[in-house]
Structure 1
Amino acid sequence: MIKCRYVVEDIKDIQGDQVENAIENSNFFISFKGNRRNIFDFTSDIEFGEKFIFVNDMDEAILRDKLNNLISKSTDDDISVCIDISLISRKVLSDIMSILSILCVNKNLVIKIIYSLAKYAPPSKGRFYNNLVKPVSNFFRGWALKPGMPVMTIVGIGYERDKAIGAIEYLESSKTMVYIPDSVESAYRADVLDENSNIISSVGADSLINYTVERPSEIIYSLDTLIGSHKNSFKTVLLPFGPKIFFAASLISAIAHPETSVWYVSGEEKDFNSSQDRDIVSCIGFSCSIKTFFPK
């Protein structure tokens, strides 16, 4: 069986004043509805309807059936999906992206990712250890172009103290690149650097890459360049800790580079500072189109 490949195009940032338009001009909208970190409190009145899918208490099977039902009803070649990732867990988000990529294999899929930046909160003092380290799904498992290739890990860092180092050691990584976030919440970056001093000091300065949370399209282009320049020498594994917008950008990058895998580390559901339902500072996002082709 010949596997399809995906081309990711038209990558653009979504600014705060474009969020409402992104939601309204989509076939359906997926969100985890919070009490305080609620995208609808940040926009004007939007009428609820069938196209709104709230994944609160929804398992993967129900979600797949719901999406399949909505997509099968559409006679258009284009399917536009807007996803508010702010409170959706990383595992559920990877499930959503996997399901959409498979169900829309014969359509032009437009993905619009919306992310609300929460008000700054210091990192929790608890430690949440890696009970489970594995690919986020079969779709994002990836494969090596050649057997026996060394592993390169691309790590996004956040408040997850020592989680990245544990995962890197588990994967026996030969090369590590570290993405460091910066945002309007300047105190957050200082905390991230402090929480991740071990991994930062373990790699060279040329292995540290700064990125701006408010410009997610640049994250995708950077990951694309990094993966593309090393794919013939390394088996690439993405460990996207840190802001969830980096996780979403990593999933998009892995769709474009299916030999790359995205790994999940358990414990996020216990670390309330990683996806806490806090007041919103601003909203950002990005959009892209995903097209399918079958190699000859």
Structure 2
Amino acid sequence: MTVLQMLDIASDDARSADLFIYGHTLDPRGLYMLSTVGTSAAQRWEIGQVENNVKDLRKPDSCTAIEVGIEFLPSALGTWIANFEGKPRIAIDISCMPRPTMAAVFQAILEAGDRKMVRLDVLYVLAEYTPPPGQLPPNEDICPINDWFAGWPTNATASTSLVVGLGYERDKASGACEYFDASETWVFVPQSSILDYQSTVEANNDVLLARALRRDLAATYHVERPTETFGLLASKVSQIASKMNPVLLPFGPKIFFALCLLVASVYREAGVWHVTGDSDLPDVPHVASAHTPAFRVELGPIERE
């Protein structure tokens, strides 16, 4: 599989997709794209924890969907893509999608890209600012998000270089970094039109960020410029992979997590890790803002000579 093309798009550009995928959620922000973009898709899948493989689902707004159990998602999506005539156009709303679910969706689409052309639109809604939770669940364990994104270092004895995306929960990232005996730790600081988030991110990661700044290991990325961020992240991982083993630890906006998955699909040495317990933060409703960054990526088989 190779990334043939990538560009930023307006969320409306994802209308009329062949398949619209979103995560089960009660958060109004997680249903915003469904109501504004997803209703025009030929088919909609809601991903959740259901016992059966798939079942029909009718949302309160009369928008029909198919509910797919997370454990059945990879095979169901792989089969759907394989049986689709022509190049499938898939849109995925990651705004409120759990990270393990997102990784499973990306894995199925990326694996399908080894066999046929696929167009993927990734949609994200920034939330209006809410203060970070006062109490956080403990970092239970730190592990790859799944086996496919575990990373395949060419030199298992090489030292580790961490690439950490900062979130706004206090000391969550610094606690996770202590798990690794990393030779260096790069930090990526999110910047967006919701200015209060950046100031809180910097305040709640002050020690980790100060250390990175002293060592010139810090970078700022723009949440609303995903293609630019992909280039910045891919360039850094490429530099690291030539001498160390890169491990991506993406806290913060889920669009950065999605970009880490995409980078790791290009640089297979890189692993994408997460903290178990991180997906169990308090389910506080968020108000969708007017800022909806999105990007389109064209995937396809690698041409052999």
1:286: how far off?
0.8
Question: Residue 14 of structure 1 aligns with which residue?
Answer: 9
Matches within 5 A, 1:193-204: 193-204=202-213
Which of 43, 46, 49 is residue 36 of structure 2 equivalent to? 43
Residue aligning to 1:279:
287
- Root-mean-square deviation (CA), in Å? 2.1
User: How far does the alpha carbon of each residue in 1:204-263 deviate from its partner, in whole angstroms, 9 at most, with x for none?
Assistant: 342110111111111100011111112111100000000111101111111111111000
Distance 2:160 2:209 in 1: 19
Identity %: 27
The 3 A distance-change label for structure 1 pair 8 and 121 is: same
**Residue 170 of structure 1: SS of its match in structure 2?**
coil
For residue 102 of structure 1, report the CA deviation from its aligned partner.
Answer: 1.9
CA contact under 8 A between 1:114 and 1:283: conserved in structure 2?
yes
Query: What TM-score, normalized by structure 1, do the two folds share?
Result: 0.88
Matched, 1:150 2:159: yes
In the alignment of these two chains, the number of paired residues is: 283
Where does residue 168 of structure 2 map in the other structure?
A: 159
2:93 maps to 84
* Distance in 2 (alpha carbons) for counterparts of 1:90 and 1:147: 26
1:293 Cα offset (Å): 2.5
1:254 aligns with 264
Determine the C-alpha separation between the residues in 1 that align with 2:209 and 2:203. Answer: 9
Structure 1 stretches of 5 or more lacking a match? Answer: 1-5
Q: Show structure 2 runs of 5+ residues with no match.
A: 50-67
Match of 1:233 in 2: 243
Cα offset, 1:163, TM superposition: 2.5
Q: With the length of structure 2 as denominator, give the TM-score of the two structures.
A: 0.86
Task: Check whether the contact 1:79–1:107 (CA below 8 A) recurs between aligned residues.
Answer: no
Q: Distance in 1 between matches of 2:44 and 2:38?
A: 14
Q: Which has the larger displacement, 27-36 or 131-140?
A: 27-36
Alpha carbons 2:142, 2:176 under 8 Å: kept: yes
Counterpart in the other structure of 1:218: 228
* C-alpha distance in structure 1 between counterparts of 2:255 and 2:160, whole Å: 24
> What is the DSSP-based 3-state SS (H/G/I as helix, E as strand, rest coil) of the residue aligned with 1:239?
strand
Contact map agreement 2:140 2:276 (CA 8 A) in 1? yes
Equivalent AA in structure 1 for residue 146 of structure 2: S
**Structure with greater contact order relative to length (CA < 8 Å, sep ≥ 6):** 1
- Cα distance 1:159–1:295, how it changes in 2: closer, same or farther (>3 A)? farther
